[in-house]
Amino acid sequence: MSSTWFKSLAVGTESRGDAWQFIRGFVANWAEPLGDDDGWTEADLVAAEERLGVQLPRTLRDGYLLFGRRRDLTRNHDVLLSPSELHVDDSKQALVFRHENQGAASWGIRLETLGEEDPAVFIRADLADKTAERCKGWLERVCTRLPFPAYPLCEAEPGIRWFLRDDVLGA
């Protein structure tokens, strides 16, 4: 097993390229390596952008192009929406790109930050009392800090992590 990707886990990512390199290595070591057909096509993403009337942030596009069709990577629990399922939640002024597997929450990017290369991600719980729903910070960035943050961003510990310490993977 190559240790290059594992070393990047301890160091973190400084750029989109670092994050995608880590993901390629992680997938190659723990699942079927990424292939040419594992991502959505540029035409799929352009069609989604035209339908929505917004442009996807660079990092979100990169992820969709690299591994967006890999169900084993994008649908184990929470579901990464396909380009045709992406939608704008007008009430929350956000582009929604992921849903919790039982419909209890959604993840998105605020519309005013879509022009950023690597914008912050928020989560919104789906509550019976819609007036009580709030968007809360989830990740500082779509990719640059992923998969290394201690998320969710809240006071409760230990939160969810990909790692226990700098050199130990965890759940």
Q: What sign does the CA torsion over 137, 106, 112, 23 have?
A: positive
CB atoms within 10 A of CB 19: 26
| Cβ contact 160:147 at 8 Å | no
Which pLDDT does position 62 carry in this prediction? 92
Tell me: pLDDT of 145 over 50.
no
Which pLDDT does position 13 carry in this prediction? 62
Over range 44-61, report the average pLDDT.
Answer: 95
Closest CA to 124 of 101, 106, 148: 106
Which pLDDT does position 142 carry in this prediction? 73
pLDDT bracket for residue 81 (50, 70, 90): very high
Tens-place pLDDT, residues 100-121: 888 788 889 999 999 998 898 8
Which pLDDT does position 36 carry in this prediction? 93
Higher pLDDT, 102 or 157: 102
Given phi > 0 = left and psi -120 to 50 = alpha, else beta, which region is 73? alpha
Domains of the chain: 4-149 (3.40.1580)
Lowest mean per-residue pLDDT among 23-37, 84-98, 99-113, 115-129: 115-129
Which pLDDT does position 152 carry in this prediction? 44
Which pLDDT does position 107 carry in this prediction? 87
Which pLDDT does position 5 carry in this prediction? 53
Distance separating alpha carbons of residues 133 and 111, to the nearest angstrom: 18
pLDDT bracket for residue 7 (50, 70, 90): low
